[in-house]
Amino acid sequence: MQSNYTHKVTRKKKINFASNNSNNLTSYDYDTEGMKDFFISCNRLCEDVLIKELQDKSMGGFGSEFAFAEESMSKGFAGVHFRGSMKDAFKIILHSRVASRVYWKLASFEISLKKDHEKEVLYDIIKKIDWCNLFSAKESIKINAILGRGLDQRLNSHYIAQIAKDAVVDSFREQYGQRPNVNTAFPNVPIMLFFERDNLDVLVDLCGEPLGNRHYRQTDFAAPLRENLAASILHLMNWQSNKEVFIDCMCGSGTMVVEALLYALKIPPSFIKVRRALSNDRNDRLKNRWTLENLKIFKESNELKESFKELLKEVNHQVKDVTKNKNTDKNTEKITIFAHDINFRAISTTKTHISFIERELARRLIGEVVFIKSADATTLKKPVQQLAERKGGIIFANPPYGVRLGNDGDDNGEELENLYHNFGENLKLNFKDFRAYIFTGNLELRKKISLQTSSRIELFNGDIDCRLFKYELY
């Protein structure tokens, strides 16, 4: 479970699920149409991109009826606080390219947690939640605790999670004589506790696996760019897919190429998982579930189940439109994406991933929309033929940082300095009228590129502090 949640210390909206005067919930919200509080996590410093995606129908592919109002969301740390219906959460889970996970905020408490007193205080307050009304004892659980600012530094998150687990399972044991099992790998109900100063938020993960898992990866490749980070970068580059070519000249495993393809064709990022979920194969259906389906609010509501099924069918229909060349604006023939890398294994991996999507769509892409070829980014030339009806395009590179990729010789400082320098020289020489973007976690190596930076945006690739540099090439 992604540990990047933080809440606003002062809230105007709070779910009143628990009362300090009761051992149970005072108002458990089973209204399927009622408004609820959610936290939508994303990569650090991509919060504004996520807000824009949720607001702009053209960004996320939601359709006009799915675009959310500005007042329904607020910026958090590594995510966005969102107020909406459970159906709204379903739409975000299926359509957001930028989000990592969607959490439902079950309860908020004021709690003073101190070392040597945490067990009795936390145990009692966690038992105030009517867990037996949230899910059945047959479901497995996992509890993560995240300790934010203003807490006793001696507190241990694993011990805190253990106390909370005891409170949850004891609630079931006392009421039903049985308890849910713990599954740390694939829990049916992942629960997260977030502490900050005197506040505790209790959340349940509605997704299960990260939304960035697009399910097309067939091979492992060193240090892949996460899919939702690639989607965020793509939005920041503002690629006009029906007017500009897109070139990833150091494509690696093809993550950015796949995200550009799905974005341009307006294919929802969840489409592969959705098609498996709708499959007649029972094993496929069971393996491709969202953890939201394990909650009683979902299981006991025919309305919610039907709404979710209809949203799955809508995703499938969007994909069918692409396979029949009925995509929006009839501009798919204008989409041109290039994938290059000097590493033959990278090219082979990218071809494997695009070929997998071809099979899913029952449509040829390689050689028509995506052009994959081994090439050296330091000598690459712009594609003159495909630029005949276009003014220019975007050339993107995510070059080695000199960290984490050392097994392939990427820690060779002189080689990397030459790579960055020569790539910059090639951009000046061969890519006039293009916008160049370089995403790197090595700010010293970036200085070897002798081009004036138009903009720089701070981002994180995992724990690596990175920048997205923009260069206007005249």
Instruction: Tell me the mean pLDDT in the region 242-247.
Output: 94
Which residues are CB-neighbours of 23 under 8 A, at least 6 positions away?
127, 128
Residue 9 has pLDDT above 80, yes or no: no
Highest mean pLDDT among 179-183, 280-284, 384-388: 179-183
User: Side by side, which strands form the sheet with 36-41?
Assistant: 73-76, 79-84, 36-41, 101-110, 199-205, 189-196, 141-147
Q: How far apart (Å, rounded) are the C-alpha atoms in residues 39 and 46?
A: 14
| HSE-up of residue 32 (Cα within 13 Å, Cβ side) | 16
| HSE-up of residue 91 (Cα within 13 Å, Cβ side) | 20
Provide the 10 A C-beta neighbour count for residue 464: 14
Strands (E), 187-312: 189-196, 199-205, 245-248
Provide the 10 A C-beta neighbour count for residue 219: 10
Both tokens of 76, joined, read: 């958090």
Check residue 283 and give its pLDDT: 72
Tens digit of pLDDT for each residue in 32-80?
668 999 999 999 999 999 999 999 866 555 554 568 988 999 999 899 9
CA distances from 392 to 124, 137, 316, 388, 430 (A): 63, 59, 33, 9, 12
Q: What is the mean pLDDT of the chain?
A: 86
| 8 A C-beta contact, residue 128 and residue 60 | no
Instruction: Tell me the mean pLDDT in the region 278-288.
Output: 74
| 8 A C-beta contact, residue 96 and residue 86 | no
Parts of the chain belonging to CATH 3.40.50.150: 227-266+327-472
Per-residue pLDDT band for 31 (boundaries 50, 70, 90) equals: low
Q: How far apart (Å, rounded) are the C-alpha atoms in residues 288 and 381?
A: 43
Where do we find the tokens 């409170």? 167
State the alpha helices, DSSP H only, in 116-270.
118-126, 157-176, 227-237, 255-264
Check residue 58 and give its pLDDT: 62
Check residue 419 and give its pLDDT: 96
Cα dihedral sign for 373, 379, 384, 389?
positive
Residue 284 has pLDDT above 80, yes or no: no
Tens digit of pLDDT for each residue in 200-236?
899 999 999 999 999 999 887 776 799 999 999 999 9
The matching CATH number, chosen from 3.40.50.300, 3.90.550.10, 3.30.420.10, 3.30.2130.30, for 36-205 is 3.30.2130.30
Per-residue pLDDT band for 340 (boundaries 50, 70, 90) equals: very high
Per-residue pLDDT band for 411 (boundaries 50, 70, 90) equals: low
Parts of the chain belonging to CATH 3.30.2130.30: 36-205
Tens digit of pLDDT for each residue in 87-133?
999 999 999 999 999 999 999 988 877 666 678 888 999 999 999 99
Q: How far apart (Å, rounded) are the C-alpha atoms in residues 129 and 252?
A: 47
Per-residue pLDDT band for 468 (boundaries 50, 70, 90) equals: very high
Instruction: Tell me the mean pLDDT in the region 393-410.
Output: 73
**Coil, helix or strand for 272?**
helix
Lowest mean pLDDT among 18-32, 146-160, 240-254, 310-324: 18-32
Check residue 282 and give its pLDDT: 73
Tens digit of pLDDT for each residue in 167-200?
999 999 999 999 999 999 999 999 999 987 788 8
Q: How far apart (Å, rounded) are the C-alpha atoms in residues 118 and 122?
A: 6
Both tokens of 208, joined, read: 């299960």
Where do we find the tokens 């609820």? 36
Tens digit of pLDDT for each residue in 260-280?
999 999 999 999 999 999 987
Q: How far apart (Å, rounded) are the C-alpha atoms in residues 396 and 250?
A: 8
In one-letter notation, the amino acid at residue 115 is K
Residue 327 has pLDDT above 70, yes or no: no
Q: How far apart (Å, rounded) are the C-alpha atoms in residues 269 and 178?
A: 39
Fold of domain 227-266+327-472: Rossmann fold (3.40.50)
Check residue 25 and give its pLDDT: 37
Q: What angle do CA 234, 205, 158 make, to 5 degrees?
A: 110
Q: Which string of DSSP letters, residue by residue, matches 68-129?
A: PPGGGEEEETTEEEEEE-HHHHHHHHHH-SS-SEEEEEEEEEE----TTTHHHHHHHHHTTS
Which residues are CB-neighbours of 427 under 8 A, at least 6 positions away?
395, 434, 436, 449, 451, 471, 473
Check residue 17 and give its pLDDT: 37
Check residue 211 and give its pLDDT: 96
Check residue 12 and give its pLDDT: 30
